[in-house]
Structure 1
């Protein structure tokens, strides 16, 4: 009978200390973007063409979306006084 000493498995406590995974990226449709930024559709598309607003992504011929994190970052930059 070969009895081996039991080893404490400290890995379980390490996995509990990992930071939580970030939430999945969320996509916003134009009406929500308009509500969040306070700009009209034409102003959003004008600024996108000038490179002063996050670009939309096309999900189909009549479906444009924006990445929520990019819109949030743009809002933060505006709030800090950026353009």
Structure 2
């Protein structure tokens, strides 16, 4: 959880990681992209914020931190 920003809107690669990036991005929540989107659809994972731009999908960092706390408890 140390590499999440204090405030802001992380993109999907910052949440589920990207080992092919240079440098690799470690996963905060280690699931696949399809598992993540299934979880968003079912309500298990938070809904994205899409008001940042037409082609930008991101999540509120507060929602991701709450998910981590909820799943670790």
Q: Find the counterpart in structure 2 of residue 72 from structure 1.
A: 65
2:48 corresponds to 1:56 = yes
Give the paired residue count.
57
Identify unmatched segments of 5+ residues in structure 1: 1-23
Larger % of helix: which? 1
Structure with larger Rg? 1
TM-score for the superposition, normalised by structure 2: 0.70
TM-score for the superposition, normalised by structure 1: 0.62
Larger % of strand: which? 1
Determine the C-alpha separation between the residues in 2 that align with 1:73 and 1:46. Answer: 19
Deviation at 1:26, TM superposition (A): 1.1
Aligned-residue RMSD, C-alpha: 1.4
2:12 corresponds to 1:30 = yes
